[in-house]
Amino acid sequence: MTPALTFFIGLGLLVLFGWYFATEHGLRKRLIATALMLTLVVFSVVTIWPPQKKIALGLDIQGGTSFLIRLVHQPGDTKQITRATLDQAVEVIRKRVDYFGGGEPVISPVGNDRILVQIPGLSTEKIKEARDQLSRVAKLEFRLVYPDNGERLKAIDSGQDVIPPEYRIETYHPAHADDSGRKQPDERILVKKKADLGGDRVTSSTAYYGNEGWSVQLKFDGEGAKKFGQITEQNKGHRFAIVLDGVIQSAPVIRDAIYGGDAVITGRFAEQEARGLASVLENPLQTPVSIEEERSVSPTLGMDSIRASIIAGLVGLAITLLGVMIYYRFLGFIANLALLVNIVLLIGALTMFNFVLTLPGIAGIILTVGIAVDASVLIYERLREELALGKSLKVATASAYDKAFSSIFDANVTTLITAAILFWEASGPVKGFAISLTLGILASLFTALIVGRNALGWFVDTGRVRKVSMLHLISSQHINFLGKGFIACMLSLLLLIAGGTAFYIRGERNFGVDFRGGDLLTMSSAQPVSVEQVRETLKPIHRDGAAIQQSTQNGKNYVTIRSDLGTSDEIQRQIIQALPQAGLKVEQAERVGALVGGELARSSLKALGIGILGILIYVTMRFELAFAVGAIVALLHDVLMTVGVFALFGRELTLTMVGAVLTIAGYSINDTIVVYDRIREGLASGRKGSIEQIMNDSINQTLSRTILTSTVTAIPILCLFLFGGSVLRDFALAILIGVVVGTYSSIFIASPIVLWWTRARGGSEASLRREVKQKAASPTGSAASV
């Protein structure tokens, strides 16, 4: 699909959206909604198909290696690492990576002094070679070319002469074109073996456009200027080769003696070539570089993981569709239609935006299944209540959508806040998870409030459906939840103390290599290999103290070894040599420096802190400060509880777990907001009774929805835990714990905190009612319906 066609389709969709919101309910509004849905679905299908050509796979799926390289500023070095220096270093590294060929490497600057290099399909044999290539210091040299315009080379080629001992033959690949515009052929040059001038004498280099076209200006330091002047005076009319990493970059002719430290290189340069040569002369990698992080995954492990994840997703989707259809019957058909459209739109959006599919990204797509169904559950439970009041189906449907909109809007916005912060602060696969979650939330809003509403409207408004029925497994109760708040808080406190104690005792063992640094090596074997066997094997090299785990996935045996930084290569060689009969093969390797680990820990805490602040501000604007305090306490409760349970289970916190923890924070707020919205409605309506009574009634009214949503969300995540493979098992476990704890806290923690906070600050029930009414009546406290 051409960019122009995409642009006009997007423009048409914007017009349809504007027309839809400007139109009153009726046939025209439904027709516009249908046109919107069909256009988006067709556009998404065209964007996706064929999937094998459109969807880019991350390294954790297709296999390959990523390196995070840091430019190290040496004490006393006058050259500072700037953005320009970083961009120049990217170009030098790009030329080194091209040496390995294959795939489409990704080389991009990260922050102020780092470069991310991703090389897909890199075999384990070439990983060490790539590491050496990327970490070595660049060598820039100036060498004189034999001064006879190629006559000596012709004599050598014809056998009439020999190569002078201080020279050697190099091949120069000119990048610029000749006078006719054709690319110049490769040229063999007789160039000196030893450098006449070192590149460390260059202080700066820039490309500019002048009278002779694109040229390159360079400056030398004092010693370099003196030596360069002597060389140019003695070799006028001869060529001077500029060599980087042993490869000739340019071979200009010396026109005149150049003193003063300034020189200009002219020629038929294109802009890109001139800038490239200036970058070479700047020699940004002349100072040492360090590989801060290295991650490697074999294609076999990646494909096994994606196969398991897809199976988990399909099983979870099938169970969800069937469950919703059985529980809501005809309405379940509408909800399932909206869910399927949601998935098509989500995958279409991810493809259109060139989203790189990673395993956490797949997990995000699976999680959105539960989030998408949540909106339909909210609407249908409202519809059940409206019908119970004796309203006609048509009136009840319109009322249910209008009343549910506030809950859906607030719950999804708070989840979007955490997703946005996760995208901002995270890196690599976790960022992919944040993107899929964000787009999934937006798609679920569209499908629930526009697709689902108008699909149901076609049947109800035309009289084809006059009555709907649905199961009601959880009848309205009169449980005194707030009365049990103190007991629940004490239970939570005991569990938090237990988790905190386990976390303290385990110490550094709580953290994976992502946070504390070190090497992580995963190897597969043709036959089972025990932990004791591996430990005995490592004794001769004194690495038997490493943490070793054995696991099985899809019938394959895996051994995971966690060791000190830079020791995995030695461990790998030792195990393969000592256990040849096991057929061990490297499937995954990670190497993370302590500096990166510390930064990850800080950025994770920063992300959580900013998320809490954003949610505090939003909930205060939409509700009242007491509600915001209750929501934050419940959020912290859920996050700390999940981390504590992980410590009790002996699991490790990794980079992927950061995404899971922040997702838990989003889910916790989502669930809490739904309960708050019903409490706000009760307080703002002027319903008689104490605040405690109204809160209890509100929690009881949303109990059915809370349990249903938690179950629907948990089903696909449980399938991911059971069938998604070991790579995502901890991720799925964390979210499962978060769903259970989040459901509990929205009932037993968040609401009691609102009541206690109001009483603790000396506020009266009347003042809380008044503040809630004011918020509900203000523009920020209400939302327009769709």
The pLDDT tens digits for 469-510 are: 888 776 666 788 888 888 988 999 999 999 999 999 988 888
- Pairing state between β 56-57 and 356-357: parallel
Alpha helices in 479-624 (DSSP H): 485-506, 513-516, 531-538, 568-578, 594-622
Q: What pLDDT does residue 652 have?
A: 81
Q: Which amino acid does the sequence have at 38?
A: L
For 212-269, strand residue ranges (E) read: 213-220, 240-244, 247-250, 262-269
Please tell me the distance from the alpha carbon of residue 518 to that of residue 540, in angstroms, as a whole number: 21
Residue 703: φ, ψ to 5°: -60, -45
Per the prediction, the chain carries an average pLDDT of 80
Q: What is the rounded average pLDDT of the residues 362-390?
A: 83
Q: Evaluate if residue 352 carries a pLDDT over 60.
A: yes
Q: What is the rounded average pLDDT of the residues 678-704?
A: 81
Q: What is the rounded average pLDDT of the residues 411-420?
A: 78
Reported as type and span, the H/E element at residue 426 is none
Q: Evaluate if residue 177 carries a pLDDT over 60.
A: no
Q: What pLDDT does residue 499 have?
A: 93
DSSP assigned state of 137: P
Answer with the residue of higher pLDDT: 380 or 302: 380
Q: Evaluate if residue 446 carries a pLDDT over 80.
A: yes
Tell me if the pTM is above 0.75: no
Please tell me the distance from the alpha carbon of residue 266 to that of residue 268, in angstroms, as a whole number: 7
> In a 3-state reduction of DSSP, which class is residue 142?
strand
In percent, the amount of the chain with pLDDT more than 70 equals: 84
Neighbours of 740 (CB within 10 A): 16
Q: What is the rounded average pLDDT of the residues 378-386?
A: 88
HSE-up (13 A, CA, CB side) for residue 740: 12
Q: Evaluate if residue 424 carries a pLDDT over 80.
A: no
Q: What pLDDT does residue 604 have?
A: 67
Answer with the residue of higher pLDDT: 174 or 74: 174
User: Closest Cα partner for 219 from 287, 160, 278?
Assistant: 278
Q: What pLDDT does residue 498 have?
A: 95
Q: Can you state the angle between helices 393-425 and 655-684, rounded to 10 degrees?
A: 140
Tens-digit pLDDT profile for residues 571-629: 988 888 888 888 888 888 887 776 666 666 677 677 777 877 887 788 778 777 888 88
Tokens of 469: 């029925």
Tens-digit pLDDT profile for residues 103-124: 567 787 877 778 888 877 776 6
Please tell me the distance from the alpha carbon of residue 278 to that of residue 273, in angstroms, as a whole number: 9
Q: Which of 26-40, 70-84, 370-384 has the lowest mean pLDDT?
A: 70-84
Q: Which residue carries 């970490």 as its tokens?
A: 135
HSE-up (13 A, CA, CB side) for residue 216: 26
Neighbours of 465 (CB within 10 A): 17
Q: What pLDDT does residue 784 have?
A: 46
Q: What is the rounded average pLDDT of the residues 159-178?
A: 80
Q: Evaluate if residue 35 carries a pLDDT over 80.
A: yes
Answer with the residue of higher pLDDT: 309 or 725: 309
Q: What pLDDT does residue 494 have?
A: 94
In contact, 326 and 336? CB cutoff 8 Å? no
Tokens of 698: 């509100």
Please tell me the distance from the alpha carbon of residue 138 to that of residue 283, in angstroms, as a whole number: 7
Q: What pLDDT does residue 704 have?
A: 81
In contact, 211 and 250? CB cutoff 8 Å? no
Q: What pLDDT does residue 734 have?
A: 85
Q: What is the rounded average pLDDT of the residues 28-39?
A: 87
Q: Which of 244-253, 303-312, 771-780 has the lowest mean pLDDT?
A: 771-780
- Pairing state between β 556-563 and 64-71: unpaired
First to last CA, the chain: 31
Q: Evaluate if residue 7 carries a pLDDT over 80.
A: no
